[in-house]
Amino acid sequence: MTQTKSQAWLIDFVLLAAIWGASFMFMRTASHEMGPLASAGLRVAIAALFLLPLVWFKGLGGALRKHWKITFSVGVLNSAIPFVCFTYALLSITTGLSAILNATVPLFGALIAWLWLKDRPNGSRILGLAVGFIGVTMLAWDKASFQPDANGLSTGWAVLACLLACFCYGTAASVAKRYMGGLPSLVSATGSQIGASIALIPLTVLYWPAQAPSLQAWGAVLVLGVVCTGLAYILYFRLIARAGPARALAVTFAIPAFAVFYGVLLLGESINAWMVVCALVIIAGTTLSTGLLKLGRSRSN
């Protein structure tokens, strides 16, 4: 039974990394035609419409009504703000770079858990926080420029938008750990997407693109809503329940590999040696900061 449970969370882990790795490619496609706000708003609205019938079918409507305040609030932190940030960032940086920056989520999660939940880190985890943020600085220093391009965009603001998204993800993980323990993953996922929809739909209407989006853009946002959000958040909250928030956040380590693979194969993007080095530094820091890797010998009791 223990082995079966272990295999179950590992399958969720790999599948979630593959799905979220692909999300950067679809966000890039949708945002270039629809813009950040409209594409993010449609994404969460589609996800909410996909998930809501499942909640009623499973008889979980009462749980959703009871816990709507916290699940809706988490949706703003865990979906609305990050999705807008990433779709904005992908207007000027590659999917690979944005996915590597996304790997800082556990760093922010560990830092927020320390400051808010008083989850005091040991020496290895403090070192990990320092190493991870050094990796981010290395990557941002090489890639970030605040000089606007012909479209008025800059890679510097794009990098900051990605980091703001990661901060929101890390905060949402601590909120979920403190206030949403024991909630069915379907309730958490559905409530979060409804909350994100309420926050973004007015902005979606206000900033709807003047030119009608192509079928390719509509297809991208549909996949984002159903697969990369609806199904993915069921997997994510189930992973938190099965393996804990640290392992759930650690899925961000694997996302860049999938995102870079999709970007190189399907979008013609490239990745250089410096990006790989920075990614390895960030991942080393995050594994230390989350306690997945520990330095020194553990004392036997």
Any idea which of 33-47, 136-150, 156-170 has the lowest mean pLDDT?
136-150
Q: Please report the pLDDT score of residue 106 as a whole number.
A: 79
Q: Please report the pLDDT score of residue 22 as a whole number.
A: 94
Assess if residue 193 is contained within a domain.
yes
Distance, in Å, from the CA atom of 236 to the CA atom of 176, rounded to the nearest integer, reads 11
Assess if residue 301 is contained within a domain.
no
Residue 301 has pLDDT above 50, yes or no: no
Tell me the pLDDT tens digit for each residue of 90-127.
999 889 889 888 888 878 887 887 777 666 767 777 78
Q: Are 31 and 87 in contact (CB under 8 A)?
A: yes
Assess if residue 298 is contained within a domain.
no
Q: Please report the pLDDT score of residue 292 as a whole number.
A: 66
Assess if residue 102 is contained within a domain.
yes
Q: Please report the pLDDT score of residue 111 as a whole number.
A: 82
Query: CA-based angle 66:248:135, to the nearest 5?
Result: 130
Distance, in Å, from the CA atom of 188 to the CA atom of 237, rounded to the nearest integer, reads 7
Total structural domains within the chain:
1
Q: Please report the pLDDT score of residue 288 as a whole number.
A: 80
Domain hosting residue 9, numbered range: 2-289
Residue 5 has pLDDT above 60, yes or no: no
* Cβ-proximal residues to 91 (8 Å cutoff; 6+ apart), any chain: 31, 32, 36, 151, 153, 158
Q: Please report the pLDDT score of residue 4 as a whole number.
A: 52
Assess if residue 228 is contained within a domain.
yes
Q: Are 288 and 128 in contact (CB under 8 A)?
A: yes
Burial class of residue 81 in the structure, from the number of CB atoms within 10 Å of its CB (0-12 exposed, 13-18 middle, 19+ buried): buried
Q: Please report the pLDDT score of residue 235 as a whole number.
A: 87
Assess if residue 187 is contained within a domain.
yes
Pick the residue with more confidence: 237 or 159?
Answer: 159
Per-residue HEC secondary structure of the chain comes to CHHHHHHHHHHHHHHHHHHHHHHHHHHHHHHHHHCHHHHHHHHHHHHHHHHHHHHHHCCCHHHHHHCHHHHHHHHHHHHHHHHHHHHHHCCCCCHHHHHHHHCCHHHHHHHHHHHCCCCCCCHHHHHHHHHHHHHHHHHHHHHCCCCCCCCCCCHHHHHHHHHHHHHHHHHHHHHHHHHCCCCCHHHHHHHHHHHHHHHHHHHHHHCCCCCCCCHHHHHHHHHHHHHHHHHHHHHHHHHHHHHCHHHHHCHHHHHHHHHHHHHHHHHCCCCCHHHHHHHHHHHHHHHHHCCCCCCCCCCCC
Tell me the pLDDT tens digit for each residue of 188-243.
889 999 999 999 999 999 999 999 999 999 999 999 999 999 898 888 878 877 77
What does the pLDDT average to over 20-30?
A: 94
Burial class of residue 152 in the structure, from the number of CB atoms within 10 Å of its CB (0-12 exposed, 13-18 middle, 19+ buried): exposed
Assess if residue 297 is contained within a domain.
no
Assess if residue 294 is contained within a domain.
no
Average pLDDT of every residue of the chain = 85
**What is the value of pTM for the model shown?**
0.84
Distance, in Å, from the CA atom of 79 to the CA atom of 158, rounded to the nearest integer, reads 17
| Residue found under tokens 């409804």 | 194
Pick the residue with more confidence: 288 or 168?
Answer: 168
Tell me the pLDDT tens digit for each residue of 40-61.
999 999 999 999 999 999 999 9
Q: Using pLDDT thresholds of 50, 70 and 90, give the confidence band for residue 1.
A: very low
